[in-house]
Amino acid sequence: MVRRLCPFPFAGQPADIRGTPIDSAISCISLPDPAPVRPVLLTHLAKSASTQLTRHLQRGAKMTSREQRQETELLPDTEPAGAELPAGLDRRAFMMRSAIFGATAVITGCAAPTDQQVAAAPPAPAPPAAPPLSEDLNVVKKAKGPVMTTIDEFYKVGPGPSSSHTIGPMRITYDFYQRCAKLPADQLAKVTSMKVHLFGSLSATGQGHGTERAALAGIVGKEPATVEPEFLDGLAAKPDQTFPVKLGDKTLTMSLKDIVYDSPKGEFPHPNTMTCRLMGGDTVLLEQEYYSVGGGFIEWKGYQPPKKGQPKFPYSTMKELQSHADQNKLSIAQIVMANEVAVSGKSEVEINAFVDKIHGAMVNIVKAGLKAPESTLPGPIKLKTKAGDVYKRAMDDNYEKQRGVGVLAAYALAGSEENARGHLVVTAPTGGSAGVLPALVYALGEGGRNLPQDKLRNGFLAAAAIGYLCKHNATLSGAEGGCQAEIGVASAMGAAFIAQAHDFPHQVVANAAESSLQHHLGMTCDPVAGFVQVPCIERCAFGAVKAWTGFMIASNEIPTNRRVDFDTTVSAMALTAREMNAKYKETSEGGLAVSLVLC
């Protein structure tokens, strides 16, 4: 009796070994059951292949003629004369893999594929990628100059569960309504309706995010920072409500039916594209295409950024930021503050007042989440909240040694559960990651270490610098870069916050952020049923704990010994984002979203 461990390409079958790892080749063979002798042969084969591979790696790509002769003795030339190697494969690697397949064929009694069959095999199809971002987007153009983002643009208060799918769309429709209200009276007299069309990721997962409710709220005059959560909850409970919208002498009756879920797939300038139209019968009186580019930031077709001052210490990379810090004997927080004053035109007092406002909002979010009774979150997942229970257990003296991690996780769960309820959160950098930084802020403040207010302000500034650089050189949008762009960046910001709040040197701040971001690279955005609940809520807890871990590592190592710098990791995130399969970019078409079966 033979048990086949996995399909294996033998002679007469198409095979492409170019992407097959050696260890996979060894495991994909037929074993008799029982097999008293062949496992020994397989072990010998594996050890032999491992030895040869180790020698190959130790030698490196460049060998002297003497080393080449030695290699010829170790690996005799069994390649048929005139054989063509597959594209992209060097001769030695090809020989190594051929040897493994040949040895496997001897053990199993099956003929191995010929070199010609392997070389002629078609290449594996490339996974589908998301369309590239339009070069016309300001978020793309800005990557070519210094960081110009300001702190009041970055930290935004608004309704959850997603900065790109709720805060952004609400800002967009509010902006469009303001444009419509400024039209001449003769045009407004022709108005009969207003329509909002959602495309791309907004269409694919908007219903789970409550995008249609946020869009309607903007049209009826609600702004993200001041909208009542009860208003949005009421739309969910009673979706047939209608609202009067006055334009000139005309009053439109608007409802959720005027928000249209359009095509989820297409060549859009950005994955989060919207169009708003003001109609006069069949005539379009005003139309504008918008983009929710992540973190609550919005743009539109023909967008021109507002005029700003020039930064005192211009930088576009962490290396440049640290250079300014070294040359001027300043901390990262001090560099950021000087630039905030220069770019925004505001005073330090005004900037600190805004930071304090954001600090207060984050504390209130965590407290609200901890006090909320256990409940079932809206949507088909029927997910139970747990922040309060996790906090109670963490404070139990029987689990005192686990208290640090337990309390921090509870704080993060509290913030992210508030986000999932659609209540007000702070983008740091996004709604989906809105539990990470508030957890750390509360833990270093009144919920834990009680650091002075000025130390926490410095932490906010350093965290913002990390977010600025990730936005500038990569992305903050799950629809562009997966969850690494949300939880990953939030965790990096959190690590920088801790390090700066404790007055560590700028290299420790950068290293802490790098470490936390590095260990989120490749994280996909695959929300189950399109709701920002699974895996999003618990990911905030892990992101907060990883931030603390990143800080602990960075503050206990020799800073100059770190081999990977922050800029390199941000570049890796951008590269991973570009190459990531589109199914894992906030579409709910892959990963956990299709693996979990909802009953």
In Å, how far from its chain's centre is CA 187? 43
Going from N- to C-terminal start, the domains of the chain cover 2-120, 151-300
DSSP 360-420: HHHHHHHHHHHHSPP-BPSSTT-PBP-HHHHHHHHHSGGGGGGHHHHHHHHHHHHHHHHHH
What is the mean pLDDT of the segment spanning 231-260? 95
The CA distance from 507 to 319, in Å, is 10
Q: Is 346 exposed, middle or buried (0-12, 13-18, 19+ CB in 10 A)?
A: middle
What is the mean pLDDT of the segment spanning 194-213? 95
What percentage of the chain exceeds 90 in pLDDT?
74
The per-residue pLDDT for 229 is 84
The CA distance from 118 to 89, in Å, is 12
The per-residue pLDDT for 123 is 61
Q: Quick check: 2 pLDDT over 80?
A: no
The CA distance from 427 to 115, in Å, is 56
Locate 598 and state its tokens: 């909802």
Q: Check: CATH 3.30.1330.90 for 151-300?
A: yes
The per-residue pLDDT for 458 is 98
The CA distance from 351 to 334, in Å, is 12
The per-residue pLDDT for 135 is 67
The CA distance from 340 to 149, in Å, is 9
Integer angstrom CA distances of residue 77 from 49, 104, 266: 16, 19, 51
- Per-residue pLDDT tens for 255-298? 999 999 999 999 999 999 999 999 999 999 999 999 999 999 99
First-last CA distance in the chain: 40
> Using an 8 Å Cβ cutoff, are 491 and 543 in contact?
yes
> Using an 8 Å Cβ cutoff, are 523 and 483 in contact?
yes
Residues 6+ apart with CB under 8 A from 264: 199, 200, 201, 203, 204, 587
3-state secondary structure of 259: strand
221 against 59, higher pLDDT:
221
Locate 2 and state its tokens: 């033979």
The per-residue pLDDT for 443 is 98
183 against 120, higher pLDDT:
183
What is the mean pLDDT of the segment spanning 405-432? 96
The per-residue pLDDT for 260 is 97
- 423-448: b (≥16 Cβ within 10 Å) or e: bbbbbbbbbbbbbbbbbbbbbbbebb
Q: Quick check: 14 pLDDT over 50?
A: no
Q: How confident is the model at residue 45 (pLDDT cuts 50, 70, 90)?
A: very low
- 490-500: b (≥16 Cβ within 10 Å) or e: bbbbbbbbbbb
Question: Among the listed ranges 108-112, 181-185, 515-519, 569-573, which one has the minimum average pLDDT value?
Answer: 108-112
User: Around Cβ 127, how many Cβ atoms within 10 Å?
Assistant: 11
Residues 6+ apart with CB under 8 A from 227: 158, 159, 170, 217, 424
Locate 370 and state its tokens: 């901890």
> Using an 8 Å Cβ cutoff, are 130 and 271 in contact?
yes
Locate 493 and state its tokens: 């910001």
The per-residue pLDDT for 102 is 58
- Average pLDDT over the chain reads 84
**Closest to 165 (Cα-Cα) out of 218, 225, 205, 132:** 205
What percentage of the chain exceeds 70 in pLDDT?
76
The per-residue pLDDT for 91 is 59
Return the ∠ at Cα 435 (arms to 234 and 471), rounded to 5°: 105
> Using an 8 Å Cβ cutoff, are 455 and 501 in contact?
yes
3-state secondary structure of 69: helix
What is the mean pLDDT of the segment spanning 294-304? 94
Q: How confident is the model at residue 65 (pLDDT cuts 50, 70, 90)?
A: very low
> Using an 8 Å Cβ cutoff, are 202 and 292 in contact?
yes
Q: What single DSSP character describes residue 285?
A: E
What is the mean pLDDT of the segment spanning 337-346? 98
- Asked if the peptide bond before residue 429 counts as cis, ω within 30 degrees of 0, the response is yes
Phi, psi values for residue 260, rounded to 5°: -105, 125
- 73-92: b (≥16 Cβ within 10 Å) or e: eebeeeeeeeeeebeeeeee
Locate 15 and state its tokens: 């095979």
Integer angstrom CA distances of residue 89 from 64, 86, 355, 513, 574: 21, 6, 55, 37, 27
The per-residue pLDDT for 86 is 53
Q: Is 485 exposed, middle or buried (0-12, 13-18, 19+ CB in 10 A)?
A: buried
Integer angstrom CA distances of residue 211 from 260, 367, 430: 10, 26, 15
Q: Quick check: 356 pLDDT over 90?
A: yes
Residues linked to residue 247 through DSSP beta bridges, in sequence order = 250
- How many residues appear in the chain? 599
Q: How confident is the model at residue 101 (pLDDT cuts 50, 70, 90)?
A: low
The per-residue pLDDT for 32 is 37
User: Around Cβ 486, how many Cβ atoms within 10 Å?
Assistant: 35
> Using an 8 Å Cβ cutoff, are 477 and 140 in contact?
no
**Closest to 154 (Cα-Cα) out of 349, 293, 275:** 293
Q: How confident is the model at residue 100 (pLDDT cuts 50, 70, 90)?
A: low
Q: How confident is the model at residue 599 (pLDDT cuts 50, 70, 90)?
A: confident
Q: Quick check: 62 pLDDT over 70?
A: no
The CA distance from 91 to 95, in Å, is 6
What is the mean pLDDT of the segment spanning 36-65? 44
The CA distance from 299 to 171, in Å, is 10
Q: What single DSSP character describes residue 144?
A: G
- Per-residue pLDDT tens for 114-144? 556 555 656 655 555 556 666 666 556 556 7
Phi-psi region of 535 (alpha: psi -120 to 50; beta: other; left: phi over 0): alpha
What are the strands, taking DSSP E only, across 199-258? Answer: 243-247, 250-254
The CA distance from 90 to 60, in Å, is 13
